[in-house]
Amino acid sequence: MKLNLVCIPGDGIGPEIVAEAKKVLNRVAEKYGHEIIEKDILMGGASIDVHGVPLTEEAIAQAKAADAVLMGSIGGDTNTSPWYQLPPNLRPEAGLLALRKALNLFANLRPAYLYEELAAACPLKEEISRAGFDMLIMRELTGGLYFGERKTVEENGVRKAIDTLTYDENEIRRIAIKAFEVARKRRGKVTSVDKANVLDSSRLWRAVVNEVAADYPDVTLEHMLVDNCAMQLVKDPAQFDVILTENMFGDILSDEASMVTGSIGMLSSASLNDTKFGLYEPSHGSAPDIAGKNIANPIATVLSAAMMLRYSFDLDKEADAVEEAVRKVLKEGYRTADIMSEGCQKVSCSQMGDLLSERI
């Protein structure tokens, strides 16, 4: 199979962690008989330095022509980098927002998995963390409160701010379909999170999700109010498989879920459109303070590449192999600096990439 990829190394530690993900992907291609066609493009600060803008039209066209995009990290130190002296629309993160819009990436997937070997880093009680958890938050990314009409006015001498939360049934249906399709690749359960006891948008959300569920009799559906879900994530995270929710709720819950894993350096993510196309990236930032030191943790980027194999190419066996390689390396006691603990062996970013590749 030909895998036509665009890679965005980006800024900070981005080039280092993308290099290790490429190393692992090349090993997968070698073992399973695939051909990887890849092209690097500039985005963020790296693009500003060369082109004066965080994303060019040519880069967008190249991304659109690919089957998937693998990205490192975008941005720099907001206090010291000259990139942040520019107008907001010319700063590094504007490139990512423009790319998401151009590619119509409406579905954000954020896995939260607790590795047994890293359970000590989990902030939850031991009796909870001992059970482990493996969940995925499916967040609607292009609608809702963040994209509704907004204004600030003055009425009778009093300032008043208005933000509008809107969803139409088509926006809800397409993200629900994604959630059920992903659940079929996992453990077959969707928890749809809303605030249907208060909000009309949530009542429509629940009704449309129920309609979609009828086409997936093999997937279990439950509904949960968002405040209850926030409590359940710290009380019993093992109960969740796929959590489906709207933009603002997903923003908050995905950060909560990432925190209970104990290390953001292990967290992958994907943003998908209504085809198999996706943008895959680690959940962490560009960490400019450690850039170029070969000490960054590449595992989140490698796991993002595994998500790419699974969701954009339907290569589940290959994705399983990458995820199993991560488990093996951790079980053998190898750690990068951010997840180092007593009794383990510290390795560099590139060494971790080598170890992962050797175990494919």
- Catalytic residue numbers read 146, 195, 227, 251, 255
Q: How far apart are CA 233 and CA 108, in angstroms?
A: 19
The CA-based dihedral angle spanning residues 10, 278, 188, 283, taken in that order and rounded to the nearest 10 degrees = 10
Instruction: Name the token pair of 53.
Output: 């803008």
Distance CA 54, CA 96 (A): 8
Token digits of residue 22: 């490429």
Name the residue with tokens 């209970």.
260
User: What φ, ψ does residue 46 adopt, rounded to 5°?
Assistant: -60, -35
Cα dihedral sign, 252-257-260-261 = negative
Cβ distance 160 to 152 under 8 Å?
A: yes
Cα-based angle 270, 273, 30 (whole degrees, multiple of 5): 55
Q: Which residues pair with 169 in a beta bridge?
A: none
- Other CB atoms closer than 10 Å to residue 91's CB: what's the count? 22
Q: Where are the beta strands (DSSP E) in 167-272?
A: 189-194, 220-225, 242-245, 268-272
Q: Which of 140, 148, 47 is nearest to 98 (CA)?
A: 47
